[in-house]
C-alpha cells in the first residue's frame, strides 16, 4: 500500500462518513470563485483526501508518491546547512516573497501556485513553503520533540491530530516560520480553532 492505509482503515473511514450522513464529492470551496481557480492550490481537503490523491497519483504515474512527515517538511523548508533558515526562502520578509497576512505581502486569497519566485527554497527550488496555504504532514501531533516519524501512526483514533506546516495567506509571519507547528483533526477540511485552515498537500516522490 503506497500511502500506509490498509483496507480496514479505509472501511472504518467510509463507515464513519456514512454514519454521520456526510456526502463528500469534492474539496470544500471547490466551486467558490475566491478559492476555486485552476491556478490556485486545491484547498479544503482532509488528510484522507490528501492520502487518496497520493494513491491515485502513484497508480497513474507508476511511481510512489506520499505525504511528507513533519521532519522531512521542515528539513526541506529550513535547509540542511549549519544555519537553518527562519523562513523557507533566503533572507528577510519583504514584498513579493510569500503570501501571508502582512501588509507588504497580503493578497486576501490563496495565490497562484509558483507565483513567488523569490520565495523558493534556495537549495531545492520548492515554491510556496512559506504562507499561501497550510500543508498536511503524516505526523501525529506531539508537544515536544522527538517528533512522530511513524507514518500515519494513530490514524484510527479520531482524537489524534496531525501536524500541518507552512502557514497560510490569512496568518501572521510567526505562523509562516519554517519551524512553526500547527495541528488539526484528520477529517477536518478547513476549521481550526477560531480561524480557518486552508489545507492542501505537498507530495514526496519516493
Cross-strand bridge partners of residue 66: 204
Name which of 74, 120, 121 is nearest 96 in CA terms: 120
Whether residue 146 contacts residue 128, with contact meaning beta carbons closer than 8 Å, is answered with: no
**d(Cα 70, Cα 204) in Å, to the nearest integer?**
12
Domain boundaries, the chain: 7-205
Is 7-205 a domain of CATH 3.90.1580.10?
yes
SS3 59: helix
Opening angle at CA 180, ends 176 and 183, nearest 5: 105
CB 81 within 8 A of CB 122: no
User: Cis omega before residue 127 (within 30°)?
Assistant: no
Q: What are phi and psi of 30, to 5 degrees?
A: -55, -40
Residue holding cell 513567488?
116
The owner of cell 511511481 is: 63
Q: What is the pLDDT of residue 22?
A: 57
User: Which pLDDT belongs to residue 147?
Assistant: 66
pTM: 0.78
Could you list the pLDDT tens digit for every one of the 206 residues in the chain?
Answer: 334 556 676 666 666 655 555 566 666 677 777 887 888 888 888 888 888 888 999 999 999 999 898 888 999 999 888 888 999 999 888 888 999 998 888 888 899 989 999 999 998 899 999 999 999 988 888 776 666 666 555 555 656 788 899 999 999 999 999 999 998 887 765 533 323 345 667 788 76
- Four-residue CA torsion sign, 81, 84, 89, 91: negative
Amino acid at each position: 500500500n503506497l500511502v500506509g492505509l490498509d483496507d480496514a482503515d479505509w472501511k472504518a473511514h467510509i463507515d464513519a462518513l456514512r454514519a454521520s450522513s456526510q456526502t463528500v464529492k469534492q474539496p470544500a470551496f471547490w466551486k467558490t470563485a475566491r478559492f476555486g481557480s485552476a491556478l490556485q492550490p486545491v484547498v479544503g481537503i482532509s488528510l484522507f483526501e490528501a492520502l487518496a490523491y497520493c494513491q491515485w497519483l502513484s497508480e497513474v504515474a507508476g511511481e510512489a508518491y506520499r505525504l511528507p512527515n513533519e521532519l522531512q517538511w521542515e528539513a526541506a523548508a529550513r535547509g540542511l546547512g549549519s544555519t537553518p533558515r527562519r523562513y523557507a526562502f533566503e533572507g528577510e520578509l519583504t514584498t513579493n516573497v510569500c503570501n501571508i497576512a502582512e501588509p507588504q505581502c497580503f493578497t486576501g486569497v490563496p495565490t497562484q501556485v509558483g507565483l513567488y519566485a523569490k520565495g523558493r527554497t534556495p537549495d531545492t527550488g520548492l515554491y510556496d513553503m512559506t504562507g499561501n496555504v497550510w500543508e498536511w504532514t503524516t505526523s501525529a501531533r506531539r508537544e515536544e520533540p522527538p517528533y512522530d516519524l511513524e507514518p500515519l501512526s494513530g490514524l484510527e483514533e479520531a482524537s489524534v491530530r496531525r501536524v500541518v506546516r507552512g502557514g497560510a495567506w490569512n496568518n501572521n509571519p510567526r505562523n509562516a516560520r519554517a519551524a512553526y507547528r500547527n495541528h488539526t483533526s484528520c477529517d477536518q477540511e478547513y476549521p481550526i480553532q477560531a480561524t480557518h485552515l486552508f489545507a492542501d498537500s505537498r507530495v514526496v516522490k519516493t
